[in-house]
Structure 1
Amino acid sequence: MKKTLRYNYRLNPTPEQEAKLVEFGATARGIWNLLLSENMRRYEHDKTFLFYKDMASLLKDIKTFEEFNWIKAFDSAAAQQVARDLELALKNVFTKGRLQRFPKHKISYKKKKRHNDSFRAVNNSHCIRIENGAISIPKVGKIPIILHRKLASKIKTVTIQYHHGKWGCSITQEVECKTAKQVLKTITGFDINSKQTVVGSDGFVVDNPKFLKQSKTKLNQLQRQLARRTKGSNRWQKTKQRINKLHGKISRQRLDFAHKISRQITNENDILVFEDLNVKGMQKFNGSMVADNVMGLITQLSKYKTELEGKLYHEIGRFEKSTGVCSECGQHHVLTLNDRNFTCTACETNQSRDLSAAKSIAKTGELDLIAAGIVARVPPTSQQKSAIKTKVFELSKFAVGTEKKEAA
């Protein structure tokens, strides 16, 4: 089985290339706004939308008019990708089970005071390639690239974006997943909370590094400095860029931390069980703490890493009780956020709130996977008996097909 992944690299364009990238990003934004306006006009007229084929034909037809010469200078395949993105955004609005609003017009650079537009180029006929430390982009040329890791496979698409004062590209490639493991020897539940980033049912604990809090003093200093500047002046722009770069540093620290933790727990376990957290709802009560804890990011990274390694990832239901559940007898307790430890009222066992929740998540996940027929408990062999006591599972075998069942 193959999986499409993104690999991010830093770009060092020349001033001429940078101007071209800014222009192409603005063109992609203009095409989005043009096609969205046409869809809105069409819907008001006859309650229908334009989809990819119609939008691609429209772009081809309007190129003949003088008013739309700016589209001619843009890569035609990249323009078609904008149409595909808009089609997906329109379909998601009317898809059941998704909470996505109707797409909006993208705001111009002059109003947002930054050029963070992006565009996506497609590798048709091997037009995108990396040679001699540079990546070739259609109608832009060869841009120097910092290739800190080798390519995994053939390039499919490249997304160019200016983010936090740096140019970068996101390259999509197909990666071969490892064969699914038939015997799974460890199952671990993970509780994610605001105090510790991750607490595992096997005793694994990672504290929240709080990168935003570490840079809070410097950030407050720059924000006060910005307030004293005349808005729009050169010194105001320089301070604004320094704030943007500091936010970029914090973002990269969080991403690096999440990658390292997700890789560690994926390597050490065969079955990973997480909670389906409502991170957006949690941010309403404690936004800065939740955002600084990369809660949702760790689960996303762990999910695709387990698929690559041929292991198993599972999420228990959002409304399953885990906090306050005794890990010994299963008694439920009502706890406040300040109660980090509690004593069970039934068996009188004193235990950690987070460790008990992680063990409860592991038990619930195990029951879900067995009930869904994804795994089955098997008796340990004589060699396994002499080692540390671990639960051993085996992937279920089916009469039709070789694919695994997915958890509901």
Structure 2
Amino acid sequence: MKKPLRYNFRLKPTAEQEAKLIEFGSYARGLWNLLLSENLRRYRYDKTFLFYPEMSKLIKELKVFEEFSWLKSFDSAAAQQVARDLDTALKNSFSKSRLQKFPTFKVSFKQKKLHNDSFRCVNNSNCIRIENGAVSIPKIGKVPIVLHRKLVSEIKTVTVQLSHGKWNVSLTQEVECKTAKRVLHSIVGYDINSQHTVVGSNGWYAKNPKALKRSSTKLKQIQVQLSRREKGSSRWHKTKSRLNTLHGKISRQRLAFAHEVSCSIAKTSDIIVFEDLNVKGMQQFNGHMVNDNVMGMITSLTKYKVELNGGIYHEIGRFVKSTSICYQCKHPHKFGLIVREFACESCGLVQCRDLAAAKSIENTGENDLMATGIVARVTPKFQQKTSIKTKVFELSKFGVGTEKKEAA
């Protein structure tokens, strides 16, 4: 089975190429706003929307008019991708399962004071390829690229974006996943919290590096300097660029930490269990802590890495109680977030709050997987005569598994 993945690389465009990339980003933003305004006008007229077939036809018809001659300068495949993205955004806003807001207009980076325009091209007839340290982009040419790793397969799409003053390119490739493991030798549950980013039921944990907090002093200094500059002056723009660069550094530190943690988790065991956190709701309570802890990023990265290794990724229900439960006698407790260690009221065992939550998540995930018939508990032959036994499972879809069945 193949899985599409994105690999990010840094671009080093020339001055002419950079001007062309900015121009293409503004074309993509303008086309999005144009199609969205037409959808709103159509809805006010007859309560209907334009979807991808109608929007694709509209783009071709608009190229004839002189006012929309800029559509001819834009890559036609990239224009079609804008229509596809808007079509997906409209359908997701109607779907009850996605719960996304209705798409909004995109303002220019000068108004938002952010340089985050982007556009996506499709590799039709091998028009996008990497040769001699440069990637060829339709109607732009060969742009130098920092190729820090080899390509896995053929390029499907390429997304170019200006983020924090740096040009990045995202190449979509299809990666071959490993075959699903028939015998699963271990299961580990993970609890995500503010003190330690991740705590595993096997005793492994990763401390929160707090990239934003470490750079907070320098960040405040630059913000104070920016407030004293005359808005729009050359020194104001230089200070603004320094602030943007520092935010980019913090963002890259968080991403690097999330990749390191997710790789360690994916290689640890065959079955990974997390809890389904309401990250958006937690951001309203303490947004800086949640963002600095990369809670949602770790789970999303771990999910696809476990699937690549042939393991199983599972999330327990959002409203299932997992914290403040004794992992020995399963007795529930009630106490505040300030309590990090507690003694069980029933058995008297002193235990760490985070470790107990991780073990509770593991037990809940194991029961869910066995109840739904995804895995079955087995007893390997090499563990029958030993006192120390580890949990071993077998995928039910390869055969009817029972607890009495012996693993080969």
TM-score in terms of structure 1 length? 0.96
Query: Which secondary structure state, in structure 2, belongs to the residue aligned with residue 162 of structure 1?
Result: strand
Range that drifts further, 96-105 or 32-41: 96-105
Q: Summarize deviations over 1:356-379 as a string: whole Å, max 9, x none.
A: 000000000000000000000001
Q: Is 2:79 aligned against 1:79?
A: yes
Tell me how far apart the structure 2 counterparts of residues 345 and 88 of structure 1 sit (CA, whole Å).
Answer: 52
Query: Which secondary structure state, in structure 2, belongs to the residue aligned with residue 379 of structure 1?
Result: strand
Partner in structure 2 of residue 165 of structure 1:
165
Partner in structure 2 of residue 217 of structure 1:
217
Q: Which amino acid aligns with 2:141?
A: G
Range that drifts further, 385-394 or 62-71: 385-394
Q: After TM superposition, where is structure 1 displaced by more than 4 Å over at least 4 residues in a row?
A: 383-388
Q: Is 2:394 aligned against 1:394?
A: yes
Range that drifts further, 99-108 or 142-151: 99-108
Q: Which amino acid aligns with 1:216?
A: S
Judged with a 3 Å threshold, the aligned counterparts in structure 2 of structure 1 residues 385 and 97 are, in CA distance, closer, same or farther, namely farther
Percent of aligned pairs with the same amino acid: 69
Tell me how far apart the structure 2 counterparts of residues 9 and 24 of structure 1 sit (CA, whole Å).
Answer: 19
Tell me how far apart the structure 1 counterparts of residues 184 and 48 of structure 2 sit (CA, whole Å).
Answer: 51
Partner in structure 1 of residue 125 of structure 2:
125
Tell me how far apart the structure 1 counterparts of residues 110 and 339 of structure 2 sit (CA, whole Å).
Answer: 50
Q: Which amino acid aligns with 1:53?
A: P
Query: Which secondary structure state, in structure 2, belongs to the residue aligned with residue 257 of structure 1?
Result: helix
Partner in structure 1 of residue 104 of structure 2:
104
Mark the runs of 5 or more structure 2 residues left unpaired by the alignment: 401-408
Structure 1 position 394, deviation (Å): 0.4
Judged with a 3 Å threshold, the aligned counterparts in structure 2 of structure 1 residues 15 and 387 are, in CA distance, closer, same or farther, namely farther
Q: Summarize deviations over 1:250-271 as a string: whole Å, max 9, x none.
A: 1111111110111011111110
* Residues 240-255 of structure 1 aligned to structure 2 (within 5 Å): 240-255=240-255
Tell me how far apart the structure 1 counterparts of residues 151 and 338 of structure 2 sit (CA, whole Å).
Answer: 48
Tell me how far apart the structure 1 counterparts of residues 233 and 362 of structure 2 sit (CA, whole Å).
Answer: 56
Query: Which secondary structure state, in structure 2, belongs to the residue aligned with residue 153 of structure 1?
Result: coil
**Count of matched residue pairs:** 400
Query: Which secondary structure state, in structure 2, belongs to the residue aligned with residue 213 of structure 1?
Result: helix
Tell me how far apart the structure 1 counterparts of residues 168 and 354 of structure 2 sit (CA, whole Å).
Answer: 39
Q: Which amino acid aligns with 1:46?
A: D
Judged with a 3 Å threshold, the aligned counterparts in structure 2 of structure 1 residues 384 and 259 are, in CA distance, closer, same or farther, namely farther
Structure 1 position 232, deviation (Å): 1.0
Q: Summarize deviations over 1:36-56 as a string: whole Å, max 9, x none.
A: 000000000001111111101
Question: Is the Cα contact below 8 Å between 2:115 and 2:165 reproduced in 1?
Answer: no
TM-score in terms of structure 2 length? 0.96
Judged with a 3 Å threshold, the aligned counterparts in structure 2 of structure 1 residues 171 and 385 are, in CA distance, closer, same or farther, namely farther
Partner in structure 2 of residue 404 of structure 1:
none
Tell me how far apart the structure 1 counterparts of residues 378 and 221 of structure 2 sit (CA, whole Å).
Answer: 60
Structure 1 position 309, deviation (Å): 0.4
Query: Which secondary structure state, in structure 2, belongs to the residue aligned with residue 26 of structure 1?
Result: helix
Tell me how far apart the structure 2 counterparts of residues 115 and 356 of structure 1 sit (CA, whole Å).
Answer: 44
Structure 1 position 113, deviation (Å): 2.9
Structure 1 position 399, deviation (Å): 7.6
Question: Is the Cα contact below 8 Å between 1:22 and 1:115 reproduced in 2?
Answer: no
Structure 1 position 287, deviation (Å): 1.3
Partner in structure 2 of residue 17 of structure 1:
17
Structure 1 position 386, deviation (Å): 4.6
* Residues 42-57 of structure 1 aligned to structure 2 (within 5 Å): 42-57=42-57
Question: Is the Cα contact below 8 Å between 1:262 and 1:298 reproduced in 2?
Answer: yes
Partner in structure 2 of residue 334 of structure 1:
334
